[in-house]
Amino acid sequence: MVSHSHSHTHQNQKDIEKEKLLKERLDSIKYYETFINETLNVDLNKSIEDREKVLENLENYLELKSNIELLIENKMDSMKTMINLGSECYVKARVQDTSYIYVDIGLGIHVKYTLEEAIKFINEKETFLNKTVENQTKKINQIKTKIDLIQNGLKELKHLE
């Protein structure tokens, strides 16, 4: 008789242990799912957005560079253009002297350059922006790798019985 109640207590102990392990596992699953959703995915989206802005910036500089190269090639000392006033509202404009150009170098600061100086600046800026995009891509891939690793870990945690 005594041995029977002893094994019963032993079984209860095992059940309590099992219950405790299950709860810990569920807590871990919840913790890592939250970490993916509230931290990693947020970081990932922000990093992708940041990279998009840099790519857009790069595109604008490259467009400016090709326009400057056209001015130089065609030896245009004046030109007609359309200026965007904002909200896609354009106005015709005539540039009297194309020997100098004002380039936005960032933070709303515009610097007066000769066309050749502007090209030199844009080439340097292009190198810098390409390096920035490269670094941001690495960061994005690192975040994606972390997410994958944790998701694989979660899969294993969920399939433990």
* 95-112 residue pLDDT tens: 777 788 889 888 889 999
Instruction: Outline where 37-94 has alpha helix (H).
Output: 41-73
List, for residues 14-39, the tens digit of each pLDDT value.
889 989 988 998 999 999 999 999 99
- Taking the alpha carbons of 120, 80, 102, 84 in that order, is the dihedral positive or negative? negative
Q: What is the pLDDT of residues 63-122, one digit of tens each?
A: 999 988 988 888 877 667 767 777 778 777 777 777 888 898 888 899 999 999 999 999
In the numeric block, which tokens belong to residue 83?
């200026």
Please say if the pLDDT value at position 161 is more than 70. no
Give the model's pLDDT for residue 112.
93
Amino acid 142: pLDDT? 98
Where are the chain's structural domains? Answer: 2-73+102-159
pLDDT of residue 3: 52
Q: Which helix (H) or strand (E) holds 18?
A: helix 2-35
What does the pLDDT read at residue 106?
84
Cα–Cα distance for residue pair 139/44, rounded to 1 Å: 9
Kindly report the pTM of this predicted structure: 0.74
Which CATH number is 2-73+102-159's, of 1.20.272, 2.60.40, 3.30.70, 1.10.287?
1.10.287
**Rounded-to-5 percentages of helix, strand, coil across the chain:** 75, 15, 10
